[in-house]
Amino acid sequence: MDDDEGYYYTGQTPFRKPNESKVRFHLRRLVAIQTLARLEYTVEEAETKFNRALGPVELTFVGLGAVVGTGVFVILGNAAASQAGPAVTISFVLGGLVAGIAALSYAEMASMIPIAGSAYTYAYATLGELAAWIIGWDLMLEYMIGAATVSVGWSAYFVAFMKDGFNVQMSSKWTKTPIIWDHEQFTTSGDYFNAPAFVICVIITAIISFGIHLTARINNVLVAFKIIVLLIMIFAMIPFIKTENYHPYLPPNTGNYGQFGVSGLLQGASSVFFAYIGFDSVSTTAQEAKEPQVNLPVGIMMTLVISATIYIALSAVTVGVANYTQLAAGSPLVDTVALTGMRWLVVLTELGALAATSSVILVLLIAQPRVFYAMANDGLIPRAFAKVHPKHKTPYVATLVSGIICSFCGGLLPIGVLSDISSVGTIFAFFVVNIGVIILRYTRKTVPRRFKVPGGPFLLPGIGAASSLLLLQGAKREAIIRLLVWMAFGILVYLVYGRSHSEINNPRIIADEPMRVLHENYSVDSVNYHNYQGYTDEHLRRQYERQLARRMGTAHQDLCPEDGDHEMYPYSHHHQYDQEHEDGAADQGSGVGGTGGEGELGSTPTDSGTGTGLMRARTVSEIQGDGQSSSRSIRIRIQ
């Protein structure tokens, strides 16, 4: 049976097979994948939980909200001053091409698997559960820690704006973090707390909690404002360009790798690549997007095209107004604008920076709860994270937890440490998605894709994966070590909690006889799960019963009524079971279940006997082609 042809069960049974060693059994569970049919059920289930309010324009604005932010206001100066010189414009082109390849892979995945979770969900469908967990754990660095990083930058721009706009000097005691990194160890700075960073995270978390409609409107306003400000800056500075600042366009190498010359140009591309990070956040809103298989690729690609155009134009103007050697400061755009003598433009630039960083925090804090939701829905983290507010239609528990962690990280930790681990985490996610595209081209050939990466399955995804590894190689040693420590801690959490609560590794229903699985748009095939013993633990049996009751939308006591004559409608009307072997089923019921007599299918599971019980279930099947329905009696064992 093809994995695509069943809702839940596939040939990769989560139960120990006859003659299978324990080591092989447990290793096989680590690489268990999500079937696309089950992922489609997740989409259908989410229809009643989320509001589909995001069209192609809103999705593009979500991407621009995350991409156009701190990067262009900070990274541009260092890349020009110490790496590429005026040729930083070419560095932005090269960085955009690398990001564009990753964006193509994300677009194909999004058109194929339009589900919240981004790279986490894509890894689950291609590389298996352990890889998906690692990516999900890694995405916390990109989204939640990334938002904390930007909040520290927002605080710095807020302090500058208050000084330049209102002549208010704010004390560093409450605008800088108490913990700093001095290249070898953490130490204290003497400051108390970064209050602006904390407050902006709290405000944005509150906004997000009120629903995607309000959040999208506010994000649209912030994005429109910062794009307008950047365009005003570009056109206002053109008259101040000095052509001599473009010479030499690519300064000769100083003798050290990465300091100008061709190596500096490439090193600059690696640096400015991070200005493009964030477009993948579009895919986390899949379950709130209209026609996600069409609009998600549009939103992702338009984000890259617009942001790359703005970056290239802005960098060309900036190095034309100011000599590249003057751009090493932490706020190169503000300093360049100051050279024009237009004070109003300086204040407007600082306002644009505040809007830009605010939208980045907003989008990243939209993305992180959706990843938590997907992981909780799969059972890998507590199910409380999958709770959706009945009125606002948001994963409110995940949103609150993400906001709280982000707020305190922004208030306490230095921006350098936060940005380094956020960057390496993002690159790792890009690598996995590129590899995932290659795998799915061969393992899911027949699944429809509204968008495909051009050039075949190997060329561009392979280049994207290789580029990601090269970028990881150039990352700081301390950042790699922190990433490895974070991953090791994450694997420990998975082994302690996630593995034992996983949905696909701990199924709730096991049929005694061959069962037919009928799924809309897929063929009917048989799967056999008898003789898979070893799951008689009473705690697991009760856990499966509770999970089954929750899936059916019934209370546990209603699942097995005293009269033994009840109906069970598995999961949804699109994924239902049909059992043809009705004759003789009653003859197999003796001695099992504790309360049911011989041949009685109405037995209620009890604590006695074998630890397993039989119950009668009438399934409703919609047979494709003739539209007829039938009810059959089947034996279901809950373990």
Q: What is the pLDDT of residues 219-263, one digit of tens each?
A: 999 999 999 999 999 999 999 999 999 999 999 999 988 889 998
Q: How confident is the model over 184-193, as a mean pLDDT?
A: 82
Please tell me the predicted confidence (pLDDT) of residue 13: 57
- Asked whether residue 339 carries a pLDDT value surpassing 80, the answer given is yes
DSSP letter (8 states) at residue 321: H
Please tell me which residue, 635 or 346, carries the higher pLDDT value.
346
Radius of gyration of the chain (CA): 28
- Asked whether residue 181 carries a pLDDT value surpassing 80, the answer given is no
Q: How confident is the model over 101-123, as a mean pLDDT?
A: 88
- Asked whether residue 521 carries a pLDDT value surpassing 50, the answer given is no
- Asked whether residue 385 carries a pLDDT value surpassing 90, the answer given is yes
Where do we find the tokens 């997000």? 208
State both tokens at 606: 């009890």
Please enumerate in sequence order all residues whose Cβ is within 8 A of that of 89, keeping only pairs 6 or more positions apart, or say none.
312, 315, 316, 319
Please tell me which residue, 31 or 80, carries the higher pLDDT value.
80
Helices in 525-589 by DSSP H: which ranges? 538-552, 556-559
CB 84 within 8 A of CB 268: yes
Nearest 10 degrees: Cα torsion 623, 628, 633, 639? 40
Whats the size of the chain, residue-wise? 639
CB 398 within 8 A of CB 376: yes
In order of start, what are the domains of the chain with their CATH numbers? 33-501 (1.20.1740.10), 510-638 (no CATH)
Round to whole Å and give the CA distance between 200 and 364: 13
Round to whole Å and give the CA distance between 430 and 280: 9
pLDDT in tens, 580-592: 333 333 343 333 3
pLDDT in tens, 438-457: 988 888 787 788 889 998 88
Write the secondary structure of 16-34 as one string of H (helix), E (strand) and C (coil).
CCCCCCHHHHHHHHHCCCC
State yes or no: cis peptide before 454, omega within 30 of 0.
no
CA 61 to chain centroid, in Å, comes to 17
Round to whole Å and give the CA distance between 74 and 290: 35
Where do we find the tokens 């990083």? 149
CA angle 374, 575, 512 (to 5 degrees): 105
CB 319 within 8 A of CB 238: no
77-111 burial by CB neighbour count: b if 16+ within 10 A, else e?
A: bbbbbbbbbbbbbbbbbbbbbbbbbbbbbbbbbbb
Round to whole Å and give the CA distance between 72 and 63: 15
pLDDT in tens, 471-494: 777 677 777 888 889 999 999 999
State both tokens at 58: 């809103």
Please tell me the predicted confidence (pLDDT) of residue 450: 84
- Asked whether residue 4 carries a pLDDT value surpassing 50, the answer given is no
State both tokens at 277: 């990070």
DSSP letter (8 states) at residue 291: S
* CB atoms near residue 203 (< 10 Å): 15
Q: Is 596 helix (H, G, I), strand (E, B) or coil?
A: coil
- Asked whether residue 515 carries a pLDDT value surpassing 70, the answer given is no
Question: In Å, how far are 106, 200, 300 from 111, measured between CA atoms?
Answer: 9, 34, 11
Please tell me which residue, 208 or 601, carries the higher pLDDT value.
208
> Model confidence at 48, in pLDDT bands (50, 70, 90)?
low
Round to whole Å and give the CA distance between 4 and 444: 8
Beta bridge partners of 636: 511, 615
List the one residue out of 467, 472, 471, 461 whose CA is nearest residue 436.
461
Q: Is 572 helix (H, G, I), strand (E, B) or coil?
A: strand
Write the secondary structure of 205-268 as one string of H (helix), E (strand) and C (coil).
HHHHHCCHHHHHHHHHHHHHHHHHHHHHHHHHHHHHCCHHHHCCCCCCCCCCCCCCHHHHHHHH
Beta bridge partners of 295: none
Round to whole Å and give the CA distance between 357 and 367: 15
CB 51 within 8 A of CB 393: yes
- Asked whether residue 411 carries a pLDDT value surpassing 90, the answer given is yes
DSSP letter (8 states) at residue 389: -
Q: Which stretches does DSSP call E strand in 438-543?
A: 510-511, 515-519, 525-527
CA 350 to chain centroid, in Å, comes to 30
Beta strand 515-519 with 186-188 is: unpaired
pLDDT in tens, 262-305: 988 988 888 888 788 888 899 988 888 898 888 999 999 999 99
Helices H / strands E in the chain, number of each: 21, 8
